[in-house]
Structure formats: C-alpha cells, structure tokens
Amino acid sequence: MVPFVLNNALTLEKLGKVIRQRRKQLNLTLEDIESVTGISRKTLIKLEKGGDVRFSTLTTVISFLGLRLDLTEQSKKLLEGQEETGDGDWY
C-alpha cells in the first residue's frame, strides 16, 4: 500500500487530486472502479474534484487504489487524549 499522510494541510480537493493521479497511474477508468466497487461514476467524479462524500466511500476507493490514510503523531496523540484540543467545550 502507498501511504498518504493525513495532516492539517490535507483538504478534500488535495485528496481528490491524489486519488485521480493514482487512478490514472494504474490506468483505470472511472467505469473500472464503478464496476468493482459499486460506487457510481457521478460520486467518483465528485470525490476526485474534492467534493464531500461519505467516509465509507472514500475508504473504499482509497483501499481499491492501494492507498491508505495515515494519522500524524499529533493526530494519534489527540485520539489517545494526550494533547489538549482547545477549551474543552463541544457545541
């Protein structure tokens, strides 16, 4: 699997570009991905353009393309409760 580090600079648009580049690198069409994953061509286009899609859709496509999302050390600390996330209020 090819790692793709998830960090603060990551945006949906950047992630979409990475997914599109990887798809083209593998010489796959949107139809190829649709036929295997069941994710519609319309949704795949939306994903590649940086649109908001379901997390399960994102992870399915990433996995199919041999990519993975990695959390940074800072993110891992947040998940483990070792770093302050702000004032503690949730709204």
Residue matched to tokens 């959390």: 71
7 in a domain, yes or no?
yes
pTM of the model: 0.71
pLDDT value at residue 44: 98
88 in a domain, yes or no?
no
Domain housing 38? 2-70
CATH (domain of 11) = 1.10.260.40
pLDDT value at residue 70: 76
Residue 20: CB atoms within 10 Å: 18
77 in a domain, yes or no?
no
Q: How many domains does the chain have?
A: 1
pLDDT value at residue 90: 43
- pLDDT by position in tens, the chain (length 91): 666 555 544 688 899 999 999 999 999 999 999 999 999 999 999 999 999 999 999 999 999 999 988 767 766 677 777 655 454 444 3
